[in-house]
Chains A and B, each alone.
Chain A
C-alpha cells in the first residue's frame, strides 16, 4: 500500500505502471576519480643510501673499539692492583700456615709417639716438591 502511495502517478492503471524510484548518479555523472599510481622517483639514490648506512656502521664499530679500549684499561687497572697486593696476602697466609703446621706436627708427634718406626716429621710424597696438605679443607678454623 505504501509504495503505491509514495510512487503514485496520477492515472496509473495498475501497480506495474509505477514510475521507478532509484538511487542513481546525479545528472551529468560523477566527477572523475584518479586511480593511477603516483610514486615519485625523487629521494636519495641507492649508492647514497648504501654509503650512509655503511658510514653509520663504520662509525659505530669505531665507537665499539674505543669503548673496548676504555674497558680494557679499567680491567688492567683492577688486575694491576691485584698483582700489587698479592705478595703481602700470600706472605701473611704463609706465616699463618707455618704456625698452624708446626702445631699440627707437634700433635702428630704426640699421637704417634708409641708407634714404632713412625717418622714423626712429614710423611708426604716422594717427588721432592712441596705439596699443600690434602685434608680436604683449606681453613678448618674458618669452616
Chain B
C-alpha cells in the first residue's frame, strides 16, 4: 500500500503508520494504554476489557488524525520511509528528525 490515509483522510493504522507515531502514542496515550494492560493482566477475557480497548482505539486513532493534520507532508514522508525499510528506525533518521521538528514530542 502506498498511502497512509484512507478515502476520508484518516490515517490507517498500518504497521508503518503505527511505528512512525509510536513515540507520540507512547507519550500521549499512556494512561489509556496502561489501564488497558492492567485490565488484561487482571482477566485476559476479551469481552471484559472491551470498553478500555475502545478508549485505547479512540485515543490512538484520534492522535493519528491529529498528527496527520498538523504535519501532513513530514508524516507521509516518515511513514513512506518506514514502509520502505520495514519499520527500521535507524534507517529513517532524517525523516524522523523532520517529523519531530514539526510535530514535537513535548
Contacts and interface: CB of A to CB of B under 8 A. Distances in A.
A87 B37 contact: yes
Nearest to A96: B46
Contact of B44 (A82, A83, A93, A130): A130
Secondary structure of the A side of the interface?
Answer: helix
B56 A80 contact: no
Contacts, number: 75
A86 B25 CA distance: 11
Contacts of A86: 33, 37
A90 B35 CA distance: 13
A97 B46 contact: yes
Contacts of B22: 80-82, 84-85
Interface of B: 13, 18-19, 22-23, 25-26, 29, 32-33, 36-37, 40, 43-50, 52-54, 56-57, 60, 87, 89-90
